[in-house]
Amino acid sequence: MKSENPMRKIRIEKVALSVGATGEALEKGVKLLKLLTGGKPAKMKSAKRIPALGVRPKLEVGAVVTVRKGAEELLKRMLVGIDNTLRTRQISENNFSFGLKEYIEIPGIEYQRDIGIMGFDVTVVFKRAGRRVGIRKIGAGKIPKRQNYFYRPKWQPVINILQIKNYHICQALVYNIPMGMLDGLKQLGDLKKMRDQAMEVQKKLQGIKITVEHKGVIVVMTADQKIVSISGENDLGKVTEAVNEALKQSQKVAAEEMKGLMGGLS
């Protein structure tokens, strides 16, 4: 049996995370990239003047950080945020890109008050052995084009021919990455689904209002235990009792709503 040519194996060269913003938003973007990668982002400056957008030359308009060591593990986490699915138009000859609207979609990343809600872009670049020969500054040489780009035939990427949109299939058939390497993605995807369901329940609870009248005090509270209004008697003891009663009823309603979610987790 003919052995596989090791020079033809495709590997992940790097994963680049970037944000586009200016001013205070850019500083938040830099914090976000540090949080996600632990690296030091580089700020990007504009080379053109665009009056309509208020952009001038040398204005800082974004930040990018490149990850090489540990790129594969980082990519696994990023892909969970898009349900491990890529569209054909997101894939080029030797790379693919996708965006995440909110960083909290990544498993293990919690909301950061100093950053707020922010999205970012991810670009993954692939390579074959020998690529450095063509790009090094000293003693650079020529390498065949087929070694740089992954197409068959040359005008169409391999991924387009196979009509692959799911990364699990893509990495197994095209990128020669062992299938077992991403076994944990399914579990992470399930966790994301559960979290999305919990967020839906939370929104539903916010819309449910419970009215409790106790000893002349009327308390209106949402099912997620937030007080909407208190009216009637001003006696502190009576108000406290009425609020406690409203809390009990709201917790009971919340428990009923959560039953369906917990059933899905079992």
Residue ranges and CATH numbers for the domains of the chain are 6-182 (3.30.1440.10), 192-265 (3.30.1310.10)
Do 96 and 90 contact (CB within 8 A), yes or no? Answer: yes
3-state secondary structure of 26: helix
CA distance 10 to 15: 14
**Per-residue pLDDT tens for 206-226?**
888 888 888 888 888 888 778
Check whether 178 has a pLDDT greater than 50. Answer: no
Region 245-252: mean pLDDT is 83
3-state secondary structure of 4: coil
Question: Maximum CA pair distance of the chain?
Answer: 89
Check whether 155 has a pLDDT greater than 60. Answer: no
pTM here is: 0.55
148 is written with which tokens? Answer: 């740089």
Of all residues in the chain, the percent with pLDDT exceeding 90 is 17
Report the interhelical angle of 236-265 vs 184-207 (nearest 10°). 150
CA distance 133 to 143: 7
Do 94 and 127 contact (CB within 8 A), yes or no? Answer: yes
CA distance 221 to 239: 13
pLDDT category, 152, cuts 50, 70, 90?
very low
Region 159-184: mean pLDDT is 37
**Per-residue pLDDT tens for 26-67?**
999 999 999 999 999 999 998 888 888 788 888 999 999 999
